[in-house]
Structures are given as structure tokens and as C-alpha cells.
Chains A and B, each alone.
Chain A
């Protein structure tokens, strides 16, 4: 009988672990309570692949951050997602902050970060002319990069599915049974799975899942982060700009997004455990971001705001990732994945499979001979030359029909996103970026719903924005 593994939570961590496991010959399940992958913390964070100088040497955060950063280049080529090493600056405004830069550099070198450099004011301003001219220096980390986190999760799951992963969406884990100290079965609102190993990647809810299994208890402390997104005309900075960090967080930063916008944020608001799903933006949060970012770039123009949003991060008391086996044999935690969780995830995926499962649990895994490492993204006109796109349209004319005009997303792409699993408007949007442009879906929302209705064979009014409560329409005007 094949080894049976269930991964709980299809965020960046669960997705990349699943993809890593799909290289081996086993029965693999990925269970996700949301209607799509990457809709928790993965959907709303700073999207940074950190260099790795922030965390103290010896922590898992430091170790996996540097390792994960190195893996992103190859991973982005295999899974065909956007990733660019644009570098990061930590900027200092005072003598004390300059001392902290030295500490960070020292820490980074101990962590194994390459090519760190302290830049003087002149060099910094030549690279980032919009910065507050009263800056004194920066710590420059060329290995830092940006990506689209949910694209990483989606691409990993698509690739894992091609290699045999069973994805279970809209499934909430209700019970984890343990027999004779070993994890035995996962019960969800839809079914039961007999398992040998369970990997807990449940994000802000990982503590609840660990409790279900009777593993050593821990607390996930939800920390909300709000953001402001500016449109593509803002052109504020060329790289990631951090203020000098405090003990609690890396601060409120400014960075370009992978598709040309500018992201400002996040705030860091610790919430009670009961508020893990509170993704509301607040007046205070937005004001705080504005103030902090104006200090970094005084000329910032808030008439370019496209939207605001909030994400939830999973902090822990020990201020480090919780990764490893537990007293329940076969139950593995990969929890507390706050920053640099996104960066660390590919390295953690390898660690879980190679170290925890194979060494710590002593379970031998056999590599598949026919593993397919490559996944191709949905064709998009902006990634093609005109002659090449002409060929794409010749094969399928729907790729010539634009639906989202702001981001030039074609009907062909919408149809392909549905084929690849999009069942909600957000599912289409996150796969194609339709509706993410300046008009924020004003022109394409109804057209996308129309295509979804046709392709899925369901009435247009039944399609949801994201979850079941998020209806878009209320029946016909008249029959």
C-alpha cells in the first residue's frame, strides 16, 4: 500500500510542500477550507522574497529565509511564475539607525546573505531619487526580490496535480483521529481520509489543527497588516524600501509590485485569537501607512490609490517558525509562518520532505521516475511578441478577444483559468489579473461572469465573488 499523506492548508507553504511531495510515489491529499488555493495569508502580504538579514542567526526564520531565497530563481523557471530580484534597501535617517544597519549587515553575513553593502546617501539617492533627501545611508541587499505569492501557490498546486496530487477545496477539517499514538484519519465536512502522515500548514488556524490532533499545544497570534496599493502610474521606487526595523516588525515599507504598481504597508496590529479572520481595513491603519510612507518618500501621491486591503499573519510566542514532528507520530507542524514565510517556503518544503519525513520519522520515500517538473502559465499577450501572439490567436481566436482592457486579458485566458480550476470571480481574477487594473473591474466584471456562466453551465447570478456568502446578483429583473 502507498504511503498516504494529507497536507492541511493550500497556502504558499502547503502548496509548495505538496508540490515537493508530488515528486514521490505516494497518495497525496491537499485539503483547503477556502474555494481556492492561496486565499489566506498568501493572498495579502508584501510579496517580498527577503534577502535574510532580519532574523537572528540560529533561528529557523534566518536559516530557511536564506535557503529559500536561493531556490526562487529555479523554482520560478520550473513553475513559470513571476519573480524578479530587484534588491532591497533598509534606510537610516539617524546615527542610531545607521548603527542598526551595521548590526543588520553583520547579522546578514552570519546568516549567509551574499553581497550586502552599506550605501552612502549619494549612492542611495542615485538609485532611489524619490526618497526623502534627509536619508543618511542604506543597507543594500541585491538578492531580495518580489513575486506574486498566490501565483506561486497556484502554480505549485497545478504542477503537483499534474503529478498526482488530489486537491480538496471547500473542505474544512473537523477531526483528526489518532490511534496508538499515530495519526490515523482526517475527517472533513465532506469526507474521511485514512492517512499515515498529516502536515499542518493551516496558517493562522494551525494552532486549532494541532489541538485537534492532540499534538503539543501552541498559540498562533494573529497580526493584521493593512496595505495601500497605488496604480502603475505612480512609479515611486525601483526596489524594496524598508525603514530601519523595530523589534516587532520590519516596519511600513514601499515597494514596486510585480506588475508595476506600488505597494505601501503593512501595519502590524496584534489581534485577539477570536479575530483571525478579521480582514477589515481601518481608518487608523490607512493613516498610519500614509504617515510612515510620506517619511520615506515625501512626494508620494495618494491620488494614485487603487485600493486598500488587509492580510493576517501568523505570529508565535517564540518568535520563530514552528516546524517539526510532534508527540503524535506522523503529525507534522509547519506553523507560525509569518514573514519571511513566503521566502522560506521552498526551503521548508524540502526540509519537511527530506529531513522530517525521511530522517526524523524514518519513512523512506521513493522518487517518481516520471515526475514532470515544469508547469506553463496561462498565455498572456504581454509575455509574447506580436508575431507569436498572432499564432496563439490563430490556434484559438478567443485569445484575440480582450475582456479586461486595463490589463489586456483575453477571453482565451478567462476560459483557460476556468479550465485550471477557477470557480469564482476572484479565482479568475487571481489567475489572469483581469479586473486588477485601473477600472477595478468596471468594464470586465459582467463580461467575466458571462463567460463563466457559459463555460461552467450555471446561471450568471449563481457565481460568487469568492466565498458562498459573497453573491454578486439577486435574480432576474423579469422573466
Chain B
């Protein structure tokens, strides 16, 4: 077993991890990034559509272009090892054990940044009746199949779920000559962004079937069709509404789930975010473990992931280089209408803290309040499908004195007048 020492170990070579490694090494820490796949980049490699980097680079890039820029930025600052997978994290020893073709490696680390991204919710978890057949793929798998492996999944497809990847893959398949019969959405509105709805569905005349779901899969060996039903407001199928669609491919885009297997049982989790609880330093409840990006909560933009990665990397480096980091002082608690929310704690260390959150239900407008004070007013429709990012002026909040941690409510106050 090889033993190595690094100041900051970054796990995950996607946007968050690379940003974290750049920022840690710039701060002066000896930084190593490990990636379990053969190459870094994560999902950026397969996202050949544009829309990446508006906040970070001020221009609209494709995924691979964004990755290229990131790698240019990072050139030579830190070491990258791909094909390496984390096996264990020893909390008390500050040790991370990995496996790769080089064997088992034991890293003694000053700090760890976990940026392991997300996974897709599998179709099988939906318990939709029918036989077990081929031809059902999550949208990310189809994206990789088409864009990386240069293979088509089939000839006639439907998409279940109107999240962003589902919309993008509906367009992608249509562009490559696949007959895309429609996108099925159980809710009464599109799940992904309105921009994607317009650019991926409307512009390509792909129907969106809201308030519909699949009640049965048909096929023998390969999928041959689906029965699509209309649902009522409780998502229950309406009798007699079933309609058969003949397809050979079902693309499933029914949600992303933060992927953080390596932190399970180790750090405190936020059940609503689906990832580790973090403070404004991107630090978990274990002081040497930091986390950023989709492994904490699902973000809409790679730019958000990048921003969190920068914060996580910088603070991991501070700790690894011997700095004493401030403790948590304010606990941000979800008030009215707040769903996903990052971070969970404030230390007061930074004056301006970027917060990311989602509302629980669609609202015409309103204002975001923290500790009772207005942070931002929204004069437009806000939807759960769209992540809100705000900069919190921490100086305006009141912090407790002494060792106490105080609660601080975050709420989205619906403004009925703006309707």
C-alpha cells in the first residue's frame, strides 16, 4: 500500500472539483485531484449544447468548451489522477484510501473536498408496471451514448420527465433523425427551464404532454410501446385516458440525486437537499471535509457548481495550511416556501455569501427574506425548477455572541399583489 501526503485532496474531476483544486492550489496548498473515470470533466464531456459559463466566463460555452477553459485556467497548478476511486475515508485519522490500476493508496490529507456530482434517478424506482425490457435509458446515458459513443438508442422515442436533460435529449435525438413523439410530464408545467422548453421542444415541434404519465410499459425483449395516461391533481391516473404509443426507446429524465456515497454515515446530511449539511465555507460538520456542487444539492448551472468549488477549495487550503477556521454561528432554517437551500450555516467569516435555493411551489412573485429582512424582490414567476441564487450581505445580519448557534429563518414571501 502506497502512502502519500497532500494538503488538499479533491475527489471528483467535474466542474466543482476542478474549480476547487484550482482555488486550493492558488491559495498555496499542495493539491491532488482524483477522478474515478478515465478523464476529468464529468458530465461536461457529454454536454455538447451551449449555455455553460455565462456567470463564470461571461460567454455562452458548450460543456467541452467550458471544461477546456477550466483546464487552461488550472494548467500545471495541481496533479490530476484519473481512474482512481475512493474506497474509504477514515474520519479520525484524516486518511482517504483509494484504488486504481496503481494499486491501493493511502492519502494523509490536510483537508478533503468532495465534489462527486449527481446521479440520475433510475426508471426502475418508479415502479411502473410491465416487463423488463431493453431500450429504456436515463437521459444522461442516452446523451453519453449519442455524443461520446456515437451510437443511437433507437428510431422512435418518447421522453419521460421534462427536466432540463430530458428536454435537451428530446432535441438532440430529433436532430439526429430519431422520431421523438413527445415529452411526458406528470406536473402541470415543464420541469426544466423555460429557455430549454422553447429552444428544445417548441422550436422543434416536439409535444409536451403535461399532467400525463406512463401507466404501463409494453414489449418483449425490447420496449415496443408505452401506455400514457392523464393524471388528476393528485397524480392519480384518470380512468379511460390511456393511450398507446408505439416506441422502441424510452428516455427517462425523472430527477437527479446528489451522489455522495463516500460521505454516507460520515457527515451530517440535509434530507431535503439530499447531500451533506455545509456552512458558508462549504465545510461539512467534520471540519476537514468540504463539499461542493451537485453532491450537496442539485444545481441548475455549472457556474453555481464552479462558485461553490472555489469556496470549498480555498477554505480547504486555509485549513490544510494551518489556519484556524471560524465556527458556525447562524443556522439557516427553511421558512415558508423554501426547498433546496445551500448553505445551511453561516460563520460570519465572509461578508458576502452566495446562497442557492429553490422554492417549493411555483409563485407569481414575492420576496426572499433572511432573518426577516428583504434580500431580494422577484417581480416575475419563480418555479421550483429554477434555482435562485442571491448574494447575502452578511454584515446586515445579527450574529450571536459567545458560543451559541442561533437560528436564522430563510423564507420566500409570496407577493400576491404582483399577480
Q: Which residues of A contact B (CB under 8 A)?
A: 228, 233, 278-283, 285-286, 305-309, 381, 386-387, 389-390, 393-394, 397-398, 400-402, 405-406, 408, 438-443, 445-446, 450, 460-461, 464-478
B140 within 8 A of A: yes
Interface pairs (13), CB distance under 8 Å: A280-B131, A281-B130, A283-B215, A386-B97, A397-B102, A439-B119, A446-B149, A460-B151, A471-B135, A474-B152, A476-B152, A477-B150, A477-B151
Which A residues touch B127, using CB under 8 A?
228, 281, 286, 305, 308
Q: Is the CB of A307 within 8 A of B124?
A: yes
* Closest residue of A by beta carbon distance from B140: A442
- A45: shortest Cβ distance to chain B, in Å? 15
Q: Is the CB of A389 within 8 A of B104?
A: yes
Task: Choose among A285, A389, A464, A477 the residue that contacts B134 (Cβ–Cβ < 8 A).
Answer: A464
Q: Is the CB of B119 within 8 A of A400?
A: no
Return the CB mask of B134-168 against A: 1 if under 8 Å, else 0. Answer: 11011011001110111111110000000000000
Give the CA-CA distance A387 to B3 in the complex, in Å: 13
Q: Which residues of B contact A (CB under 8 A)?
A: 1, 36, 83, 85, 87, 97, 99-104, 119-120, 122-125, 127, 129-135, 137-138, 140-141, 144-146, 148-155, 176, 215, 220-222, 248-249, 259, 261, 264
Task: Choose among B124, B129, B149, B152 the residue that contacts A440 (Cβ–Cβ < 8 A).
Answer: B124
Q: Is the CB of A446 within 8 A of B144?
A: yes
* Closest residue of A by beta carbon distance from B154: A474
Q: Is the CB of B222 within 8 A of A469?
A: yes
Give the CA-CA distance A312 to B166 in the complex, in Å: 35
Q: Is the CB of A470 within 8 A of B133?
A: yes
* Closest residue of A by beta carbon distance from B259: A439
Q: Is the CB of B85 within 8 A of A405?
A: yes
Given contacts A465-B134, A470-B221, A471-B135, contact A442 B120 (CB under 8 A): yes
Given contacts A406-B261, A470-B133, contact A389 B151 (CB under 8 A): no
Give the CA-CA distance A467 to B132 in the complex, in Å: 11
- A446: shortest Cβ distance to chain B, in Å? 6
- A372: shortest Cβ distance to chain B, in Å? 31
Q: Is the CB of B124 within 8 A of A394?
A: no
Which A residues touch B123, using CB under 8 A?
440
| Residue from B83, B127, B144, B146 having most chain A Cβ neighbours under 10 A | B127
- A384: shortest Cβ distance to chain B, in Å? 10
Q: Is the CB of B221 within 8 A of A280?
A: no
Task: Choose among A285, A386, A400, A445 the residue that contacts B141 (Cβ–Cβ < 8 A).
Answer: A445
**A-B pair number, CB within 8 angstroms:** 146
Which B residues touch A460, using CB under 8 A?
149, 151
Q: Is the CB of A306 within 8 A of B100?
A: no
Q: Is the CB of B222 within 8 A of A470?
A: yes
Give the CA-CA distance A439 to B120 in the complex, in Å: 7
Q: Is the CB of B220 within 8 A of A469?
A: yes
Additional A-B contacts beyond A445-B137, A446-B148 (5; CB < 8 A): A397-B102, A405-B36, A470-B222, A472-B134, A473-B154
Q: Is the CB of B101 within 8 A of A400?
A: yes
- A443: shortest Cβ distance to chain B, in Å? 7
- A300: shortest Cβ distance to chain B, in Å? 14
Given contacts A439-B120, A460-B149, A461-B151, contact A394 B85 (CB under 8 A): no
* Closest residue of B by beta carbon distance from A388: B104
Give the CA-CA distance A228 to B125 in the complex, in Å: 10
Which A residues touch B138, using CB under 8 A?
442
Q: Is the CB of B153 within 8 A of A474?
A: yes
* Closest residue of A by beta carbon distance from B136: A465
Which B residues touch A440, using CB under 8 A?
122-125
Give the CA-CA distance A446 to B142 in the complex, in Å: 10
Give the CA-CA distance A286 to B125 in the complex, in Å: 12
Task: Choose among B124, B221, B261 the residue that contacts A308 (Cβ–Cβ < 8 A).
Answer: B124
| Residue from B134, B152, B155 having most chain A Cβ neighbours under 10 A | B134
Which A residues touch B101, using CB under 8 A?
393, 397-398, 400-401
5 tightest A-B contacts by CB?
A: A469-B221, A307-B124, A440-B122, A465-B134, A397-B101
Give the CA-CA distance A467 to B221 in the complex, in Å: 6
Which B residues touch A397, using CB under 8 A?
101-102
- A309: shortest Cβ distance to chain B, in Å? 6
Which A residues touch B129, using CB under 8 A?
280-283, 285-286, 308
Given contacts A460-B149, A474-B152, A474-B153, contact A402 B85 (CB under 8 A): yes
| Residue from B1, B99, B141 having most chain A Cβ neighbours under 10 A | B99
Q: Is the CB of A305 within 8 A of B222?
A: no
Given contacts A439-B120, A442-B138, contact A478 B150 (CB under 8 A): yes
Given contacts A439-B119, A445-B141, contact A475 B124 (CB under 8 A): no
Which A residues touch B131, using CB under 8 A?
278-281
Q: Is the CB of B102 within 8 A of A400?
A: yes
Give the CA-CA distance A282 to B128 in the complex, in Å: 8
- B151: shortest Cβ distance to chain A, in Å? 4
Which B residues touch A278, using CB under 8 A?
131
Task: Choose among A398, A441, A464, A476 the residue that contacts B150 (Cβ–Cβ < 8 A).
Answer: A476
Task: Choose among A279, A400, A441 the residue that contacts B100 (Cβ–Cβ < 8 A).
Answer: A400
Give the CA-CA distance A389 to B101 in the complex, in Å: 11
Q: Is the CB of A446 within 8 A of B152?
A: no
Q: Is the CB of B36 within 8 A of A402?
A: yes
* Closest residue of A by beta carbon distance from B172: A477
- B225: shortest Cβ distance to chain A, in Å? 13
Which A residues touch B155, using CB under 8 A?
474
Give the CA-CA distance A381 to B104 in the complex, in Å: 11
Give the CA-CA distance A438 to B122 in the complex, in Å: 8
| Residue from B125, B138, B215 having most chain A Cβ neighbours under 10 A | B125
- B10: shortest Cβ distance to chain A, in Å? 17
